[in-house]
Each structure stands twice: as structure tokens, then as C-alpha cells.
Amino acid sequence: PVTLGQILTFASGVDTIPPLVFSHRPGTEFLHVEHGNRCIFPEANTCEVILRLPVHPTYNIFVEYMESGIL
């Protein structure tokens, strides 16, 4: 299973929270189907510390692609 530390590293590019915190407030966005294009893996903007999560029909499929994308 993916740990919170691995998610932090994936989303921010660092494995610990900086002493003076992040310059941007961390955020989450959801990747929906757009123009027939479906994103299946998570994405991150490490400069702005944004984790983009794919939308899947079931929790099990979501977990499978999250683990594959982060690990």
C-alpha cells in the first residue's frame, strides 16, 4: 500500500515538510474525462504542491492505479 510519506514525496518532490512549510498551500484536484481523454494515473505539480487524482468507477481500480502511479 502507498504511505502518506510516499504521497507527500510524489506531490511535492520532498520527503519531509520544510521547516518553514511550503511556499504554496498544498492542494488536491480531480482529473475527469475531458474531450474523450481519460487520465488513469495520478499527477502532481511539485512547484505548487498540487496532487491531481484520477476519477475511477470503483475504489479498487482507483487504488490499483494510485499504487502503480506513485510506486
Domains of the chain: 4-70 (3.30.2410.10)
Q: Is the pLDDT of residue 4 over 80?
A: yes
pLDDT in tens, 21-68: 778 888 999 998 776 777 899 999 998 999 999 999 999 999 999 999
- 21 by DSSP, 3-state: which? coil
Directed axis angle between helix 4-12 and helix 59-70, to 10°? 60
- Cell readout for 29 is 484536484
pLDDT of residue 33: 78
Confidence category of residue 13, pLDDT binned at 50, 70, 90:
confident
**What b/e readout covers 40-65, taking b as 16+ CB neighbours within 10 angstroms?**
eebebeeeebbbbbbebeeeeebeeb
27: Cα separation from own chain's centroid: 10
β-pair type (43-45, 50-54): antiparallel
Q: What is the model's pLDDT at position 21?
A: 79
